[in-house]
Amino acid sequence: MRVLLADDERAIAITLADDLRRAGIEVETAADGNEARGLYEGGHFDVVVTDLNMPGMTGLELLELVKQDPNGAEVIIITGYGTIDSAVDAMRKGAFDYVLKPFNNEEILEKLRKIAEFRRLRTENRELREALGHKKGLEQLIGRSPAMMRVIDRIRTVADRDARVLITGESGTGKERVARAIHEISKRKDKPFVPLACAAIPGTLLEDEIFGHERGAFTDAKERKAGRFERANEGTIFLDDIDDMPLETQVKLLRVVQEGEVEPLGSQQPIAVDVRVIAATKLDLAEAVEDGEFREDLYYRLNVVPVDLPPLRERVEDIPLLVDHFLRRFEGEDHGFAIPPEVMAELCAYRWPGNVRELENAIERALALVGSDKVLSRELLLEGALRKRRRTGDAGEGGPLVTLREVVRDSEAKHIRRVLKATEGHRANAAKVLGISRKNLWEKMKDYRIE
């Protein structure tokens, strides 16, 4: 916790700051309101403890400044007996609490502990709201293709058992949605679902995030921190991109999976946890084991029930269903948007290398750019793919369907660029090689935007 302490009474500031630092709190002090403002605007603070009446900016003005920041700190007001009304006014304007002078420093420490607990509960509530924001169960798994029905059948079969699940699929196929679906129709559905993206956290911090730490475990460990396994107790933990987990962390994870115990950093006492483990990988972990990049014993522990999630190109018949789902999600049930049949055919022909996530982004982008028109064109829905094709001159198998004239134009532009490069940009020589006049070459370069 970082605290900004603003008080023009030097004796109070020094003694309170010393006691806070002894309690493991980082403190910056300011002798007046203007100095406090400069410190606050120049750094990050979790709490501002400020006297109400100070030279320069008052404590009330400092409170208003802090509350303008959407990620602002909590504010504790210090006030004398004669200004209680002002303190109450400060509470109405967002102060966390106020303390009357003279006070015991332990009183401030107790309020800081309450703020730490308040922030913890607020974080848990936010995570709960995010979890509840996801539609429950299998409703979020859109698809009726044979490949997708096999996945749904596997989920129904395994959900009520505590067997560990390994979900394999390319990026963007919806692995977390599958993990949430398993949790939501399991007997653990009323307990926490705790996701962890292994690729998003540096290896040096991953162990702390998974296992937690005790106070004093390392230099900045001011308070005890529960790891993801503790937070998921009696529920489900979802380890996404587990193929990105360092080997040394895999060793410790294996112990948790085998023994059902987690040992926070700096602790000598293991903590028993009851957690269902669902892992996901974008790679073939069996190959990673052969290459020495993933532990074989951990692989077999995690791969009790495999779920192979198909890429979107292997479930083409689901694309119209997904398009309709995303239109309803972004614009409501009565959205009124239409996609011509020939454009839907192009969406089904495109290979979608980014899978469902790419399709979702394409729909959202098209809706943002369509304006007042209610018809979504191929130029809007396949903008990224068309731009890539124009840049590379290669339609490629599974790329967007195009007219013969467009293919000829792209091939011609690609060949002109090749000849110009070979002739080092000499237009007269390039025109001779191409068998056209310099004027004709200049017109084609302008038309194809060739520099």
Domain 2-125 class, CATH top level: alpha beta
What's the 3-state SS for the chain?
Answer: CEEEEECCCHHHHHHHHHHHHHCCCEEEEECCHHHHHHHHHHCCCCEEEEECCCCCCCHHHHHHHHHCCCCCCEEEEEECHHHHHHHHHHHHCCCCEEEECCCCHHHHHHHHHHHHHHHHHHHHHHHHHHHHHCCCHHHHCCCCCHHHHHHHHHHHHHCCCCCCEEEECCCCCCHHHHHHHHHHCCCCCCCCEEEEEHHHCCHHHHHHHHHEECCCCCCCCCCCEECHHHHCCCCEEEEECHHHCCHHHHHHHHHHHHHCEECCECCCCCEECCCEEEEEECCCHHHHHHCCCCCHHHHHHHCCEEEECCCHHHCHHHHHHHHHHHHHHHHCCCCCCECCHHHHHHHHHCCCCCHHHHHHHHHHHHHHHCCCCCECCHHHHCHHHHHHHHHHCCCCCCCCCCCHHHHHHHHHHHHHHHHHHHCCCCHHHHHHHHCCCHHHHHHHHHHCCCC
pLDDT, position 134: 42
pLDDT, position 101: 83
Q: Are 2-125 and 146-310 the same fold in CATH?
A: yes
pLDDT, position 392: 52
This prediction's pTM: 0.59
Does the domain at 146-310 match CATH 1.20.1250.20? Answer given as no
- Written as tens digits, the pLDDT of the chain (451 aa) is 899 999 988 888 999 999 999 998 999 999 999 999 999 988 889 999 999 888 989 888 999 899 888 777 899 998 876 566 776 677 778 888 888 888 889 999 998 988 888 777 667 655 655 454 444 567 778 888 899 999 999 998 999 889 999 999 999 999 999 999 999 989 999 999 999 999 988 887 898 899 988 887 777 777 888 889 999 999 999 999 999 999 999 999 999 999 999 988 888 788 999 999 999 999 999 999 999 999 999 999 999 999 999 999 999 989 998 998 899 889 887 778 888 888 888 888 888 999 999 999 999 999 998 888 788 888 888 887 777 655 554 555 555 555 556 667 778 888 888 888 888 888 888 888 888 888 888 888 887 778 7
Domain definitions of the chain by residue range: 2-125, 146-310, 313-392, 404-447
Q: Which of these CATH numbers, 3.40.50, 3.90.1570, 1.10.10, 1.20.1640, describes 404-447?
A: 1.10.10
pLDDT, position 132: 47
The CATH classification number of 313-392 equals 1.10.8.60
pLDDT, position 413: 83
